[in-house]
Structure 1
Amino acid sequence: MAQVLEFKLPDLGEGLTEAEIVRWLVEVGDVVAIDQPVVEVETAKAMVEVPCPYGGVVTARFGEEGSELPVGAPLLTVAVGATDASSAAQGDDGAAAEEPSGGSGSGNVLVGYGTGAPAARRRRIRPERNTASAAPAAPAAPAVVSAPSRPAPVAVGEVNGRQGPVAVVSPLVRRLARQHEIDLRGLTGSGPDGLILRADVDSAIRQAGQATEAAARTAARPEARTAAEPVAAETSTVQVGAAVPATAERIPLRGVRGAVADKLSRSRSEIPDATCWVDADATELMAARAAMNAASGPSGGPKVSVLALLARICTAALARYPELNSTVDTAAREIVRLPGVHLGFAAQTERGLVVPVVRDAHTRNAESIGAEIARLTELARTGKLSPAQLTGGTFTLNNYGVFGVDGSTPIINHPEAAMLGVGRIMPKPWVHHGELAVRQVVQLSLTFDHRVCDGGTAGGFLRYVADCVEQPAVLLRTL
């Protein structure tokens, strides 16, 4: 006889508490193998394919594409030991069967998730009637009582000042409804068993905005005014929230965009940053790169990129100025100098700006750094970077020259202490050996946390980087 096991959204690591369903990889009735990817989710860090620890027949999926689920919420149920789809049906009480004590899954799905512990049974109970109300209560979906580790699909309590059960899983959905004064009890959920999803609340918000706008247009007509209404009503702005027109497009700050917004806002609010910059003659650096690549020959391996050379220069500069490879412990009021350089580099992708990290960059040469940058860039382009590959950086290199701009004052990648920005390298008039010449010139900028050092240290770091760009032989002293 088949046992129906429930697979919950596992801990994805790095302190992530929720994920958005991007794409289901299986349908109800499909046969899945142990550790087969069943859903693609997007966290605040990266895209992740989630494998299922059970093998069997998929009997149910929880959550539509585009909806957000908290860690621990059910993803799907699988009938283990079923011979066909019909034998995968649940028991009379609609509950998932208890997992065998020995465990039938892989036991090691994702960070913080194991399959060895038995899954608790669930049973349905009838919600208590609201005895405080004289009017009969409207029919509502029954509450579900589950194991403490699983968030209850039904929130019973006060919603917008009213009492009653509401078919909502995500606390984010409830918070969004409260912020926009949406009565969840009046919504019909589009999820499984009438579950109210974020898309349902967003739709209700749009409808409320359209109704407000229509009412404002009606009130603005001359025939609709009363004698007490001022003429200035014609020029009033329809507002939803804080001075925002109802027709304005609203884009949720979530996923990568939301993570970037949170990190940059925290950086700007916590870090007293300052920026210094210098123009450098990169002609010799470009010549050295051409010589390196020519010496490798047509089949001598991957070419050394300008970014790889600049990254190697950064690790040499940080060895001289370790103050910039640090972070600030605000609680302890201490500067923490970090022993190794984990070099982040900004990469623009279709999903937004991400910062992959080259681990232990201080132990690598330019060729090794370049190979790792190329590998991580390809993963970023295809959306396959793991959360671990996007965190833990100690210093960031930002090549905004690829966008055709000369300079920038970037925001520090919190909790780091500095970021080196590199503009485009282009021919410019330059005084070389006392004569005017056309040289390959680049602007370098350093944004730094003024708590970890003063301008002298920052200027010394930037000047050393510029000297290495202008005279690559300077690096020979540190190789």
Structure 2
Amino acid sequence: MAQVLEFKLPDLGEGLTEAEIVRWLVEVGDVVAIDQPVVEVETAKAMVEVPCPYGGVVTARFGEEGSELPVGAPLLTVAVGATDASSASPGDDGAAADEPSGGSGSGSGSGSGNVLVGYGTGAPAARRRRIRPERNIAPAAPAAPAAPAVVSAPSRPAPVAVAVGEVNGRQGPVAVVSPLVRRLARQHEIDLRGLTGSGPEGLILRADVDSAIRQTGQATEAAARTAAQPATRTAAEPVVAETPTVQVGAAAPATAERNPLRGVRGAVADKLSRSRSEIPDATCWVDADATELMAARAAMNAASGPSGGPKVSVLALLARICTAALARYPELNSTVDTAAREIVRLPGVHLGFAAQTERGLVVPVVRDAHTRNAESIGAEIARLTELARTGKLSPAQLTGGTFTLNNYGVFGVDGSTPIINHPEAAMLGVGRIMPKPWVHHGELAVRQVVQLSLTFDHRVCDGGTAGGFLRYVADCVEQPAVLLRTL
């Protein structure tokens, strides 16, 4: 006999509490294997494919694409151990036993090998029956004897359970498995016996109930509009001509568009709001002549030859300059423990860099940047940037930064006052590098000029330290040979 197991949305790590369903990878009635990805979700950190720890037939999915589910909420149910005409018992309200998300992967005891935080291998919990009181049941109506009817489906490995019982005060068989579907129908007074299911073997899905709810709502609105219309004038009533008011150049009133702050956008909003509310930040900036830096980069790439490896980017050079500057001014590679009222100076530099993607702004982190040279940093930046563009960055690759480099010059702007990436202590902003008039060796010349801005946490240091850091960065940009003293 089939055992229906409920798979809940697992904890995907990094303290995430919810995820948005981006794309279902399976349909109701599909056969899934243990650890097969069943849904693609977007968290506040990254896009993740979630594998199912059970093997069997998908009997229900919870949540439409675009909806948001909290961690621990039911994701789908799987009928395990069914190979012929057997299915979940309607006495269990169509749901699984109170199975923890860390249950076994199959009815035979084989568990999932792909362990995420919150579920994975382990023995199934004891099966308990959940009894839910039915609402809208007439107390005087005698309960008609009924036996469970099973619809056999030879073309599928597992059949659809047909729950027989009282629905909205009526008796009769209803092709529905999910308790969520029945509860939704009861709440909106939808008679499930009048619906035609779009699932396998006529199974009634949540989408069918949602469609019925929308149709009922539209009918109610139409009736309300009809009742609100003024009565038809009789022949005795005078007709008063109304002169329309025309406003030249006025646009038709538009309804304000509302977009929920969730996913990456919501995470960015929360982090920036917390940064501004907790960190007393200050910004200093300086213009620097980047002509020599651009010449040094051209020489490096020319020396590597046409097939001598990847080219060194300007961002990689600036990142290497930042690691050298942080070695001189380690106060800016720290964080503040507000509870303990302590400044925590961090031992290594994990360099974050801002990257704009179709999903919004993300900050991938180059681990142990202080141990890398410009070529190694550049290769890692290129790798992480490609993962960011395809939405495949893991939460671990987006967290743990100690200092951030923000190149907003790619947007064609010269300067900015960046907001610190909480809980870090500083961020270096880089504007566009462009030809400008500049006094060089006492004469006016056209040079490649860039504006650098440093936003820092005034709790970890004063202006002298921040100014010294920024001046060292500018000196390395203007005279790259300064870096030789730290290599």
Give the structure-1-normalised TM-score. Answer: 0.76
Q: Deviations over 1:282-328 (max 9, x none)?
A: 11111111111111111111111100010000000000000100111
Q: Cα distance 1:258–1:193, how it changes in 2: closer, same or farther (>3 A)?
A: farther
Q: Deviations over 1:116-156 (max 9, x none)?
A: 14145353424387999999999999999999999999999
State whether residues 3 and 98 of structure 1, in contact with CA within 8 Å, keep that contact through their aligned partners in structure 2: no
* Inter-partner Cα distance in structure 2 for 1:332 and 1:229: 81
Q: Cα distance 1:294–1:410, how it changes in 2: closer, same or farther (>3 A)?
A: same
* Inter-partner Cα distance in structure 2 for 1:299 and 1:247: 56
How far is 1:345 from its partner? 0.3
Q: 1:236 aligns with which of 241, 244, 249?
A: 244
How far is 1:111 from its partner? 2.4
How far is 1:82 from its partner? 3.1
Q: Cα distance 1:129–1:5, how it changes in 2: closer, same or farther (>3 A)?
A: closer
Q: Cα distance 1:49–1:361, how it changes in 2: closer, same or farther (>3 A)?
A: same
SS of the equivalent of 2:294 reads helix
Runs (4+) of structure 1 exceeding 4 A deviation are 84-93, 97-103, 128-246
* Inter-partner Cα distance in structure 1 for 2:157 and 2:263: 21
State whether residues 271 and 449 of structure 1, in contact with CA within 8 Å, keep that contact through their aligned partners in structure 2: yes
Q: Which moved more, 1:402-411 or 1:126-135?
A: 126-135
State whether residues 101 and 119 of structure 2, in contact with CA within 8 Å, keep that contact through their aligned partners in structure 1: no
How far is 1:164 from its partner? 25
Q: Cα distance 1:36–1:177, how it changes in 2: closer, same or farther (>3 A)?
A: closer
SS of the equivalent of 2:236 reads coil
State whether residues 274 and 422 of structure 2, in contact with CA within 8 Å, keep that contact through their aligned partners in structure 1: yes
Q: Cα distance 1:326–1:155, how it changes in 2: closer, same or farther (>3 A)?
A: farther
Q: Cα distance 1:256–1:125, how it changes in 2: closer, same or farther (>3 A)?
A: same
* Inter-partner Cα distance in structure 2 for 1:474 and 1:149: 74
How far is 1:45 from its partner? 1.1
* Inter-partner Cα distance in structure 2 for 1:212 and 1:241: 37
State whether residues 90 and 164 of structure 2, in contact with CA within 8 Å, keep that contact through their aligned partners in structure 1: no
Structure 2: which 5+ residue stretches go unaligned?
104-109
Q: Deviations over 1:14-60 (max 9, x none)?
A: 11111111100011111222211110001111111101122222221
* Inter-partner Cα distance in structure 2 for 1:87 and 1:157: 16
Q: Cα distance 1:249–1:209, how it changes in 2: closer, same or farther (>3 A)?
A: farther
How far is 1:70 from its partner? 1.2
* Inter-partner Cα distance in structure 1 for 2:249 and 2:140: 35
How far is 1:353 from its partner? 0.4
State whether residues 4 and 88 of structure 1, in contact with CA within 8 Å, keep that contact through their aligned partners in structure 2: yes
Q: Cα distance 1:186–1:390, how it changes in 2: closer, same or farther (>3 A)?
A: farther
How far is 1:163 from its partner? 26
Q: Cα distance 1:286–1:34, how it changes in 2: closer, same or farther (>3 A)?
A: same
* Inter-partner Cα distance in structure 2 for 1:403 and 1:308: 18
How many residues get paired?
A: 479
* Inter-partner Cα distance in structure 1 for 2:27 and 2:119: 23
Q: Cα distance 1:465–1:102, how it changes in 2: closer, same or farther (>3 A)?
A: closer
Give the structure-2-normalised TM-score. Answer: 0.75
How far is 1:68 from its partner? 1.2
Hey, what does 2:275 align to over in structure 1?
A: 267
SS of the equivalent of 2:224 reads helix
Q: 2:126 aligns with which of 110, 120, 123?
A: 120
* Inter-partner Cα distance in structure 1 for 2:144 and 2:253: 35
Q: Cα distance 1:82–1:221, how it changes in 2: closer, same or farther (>3 A)?
A: closer
SS of the equivalent of 1:19 reads strand
* Inter-partner Cα distance in structure 1 for 2:415 and 2:241: 46
* Inter-partner Cα distance in structure 2 for 1:307 and 1:450: 26
How far is 1:236 from its partner? 20
How far is 1:458 from its partner? 0.3
Q: Cα distance 1:418–1:64, how it changes in 2: closer, same or farther (>3 A)?
A: same
SS of the equivalent of 1:277 reads strand
* Inter-partner Cα distance in structure 1 for 2:187 and 2:467: 47
Q: Cα distance 1:83–1:204, how it changes in 2: closer, same or farther (>3 A)?
A: closer
State whether residues 73 and 151 of structure 1, in contact with CA within 8 Å, keep that contact through their aligned partners in structure 2: no
State whether residues 281 and 458 of structure 2, in contact with CA within 8 Å, keep that contact through their aligned partners in structure 1: yes
Q: 1:424 aligns with which of 432, 437, 441?
A: 432
SS of the equivalent of 1:123 reads coil
CA RMSD of aligned residues (A): 8.2
How far is 1:472 from its partner? 0.6
State whether residues 304 and 370 of structure 1, in contact with CA within 8 Å, keep that contact through their aligned partners in structure 2: yes
How far is 1:159 from its partner? 23
Q: Which moved more, 1:283-292 or 1:102-111?
A: 102-111
Q: Cα distance 1:238–1:346, how it changes in 2: closer, same or farther (>3 A)?
A: farther
How far is 1:62 from its partner? 1.2
State whether residues 34 and 53 of structure 1, in contact with CA within 8 Å, keep that contact through their aligned partners in structure 2: yes
* Inter-partner Cα distance in structure 1 for 2:185 and 2:254: 17
Q: Cα distance 1:10–1:190, how it changes in 2: closer, same or farther (>3 A)?
A: farther
Q: 2:381 aligns with which of 373, 384, 392?
A: 373
State whether residues 163 and 176 of structure 2, in contact with CA within 8 Å, keep that contact through their aligned partners in structure 1: yes
* Inter-partner Cα distance in structure 1 for 2:460 and 2:156: 44
State whether residues 190 and 209 of structure 2, in contact with CA within 8 Å, keep that contact through their aligned partners in structure 1: yes
SS of the equivalent of 1:124 reads coil
Q: Which moved more, 1:176-185 or 1:293-302?
A: 176-185
* Inter-partner Cα distance in structure 2 for 1:174 and 1:243: 46
Hey, what does 2:291 align to over in structure 1?
A: 283
* Inter-partner Cα distance in structure 2 for 1:454 and 1:164: 77
* Inter-partner Cα distance in structure 1 for 2:235 and 2:486: 83
Q: Cα distance 1:196–1:345, how it changes in 2: closer, same or farther (>3 A)?
A: farther
State whether residues 94 and 123 of structure 1, in contact with CA within 8 Å, keep that contact through their aligned partners in structure 2: no
Structure 1: which 5+ residue stretches go unaligned?
none
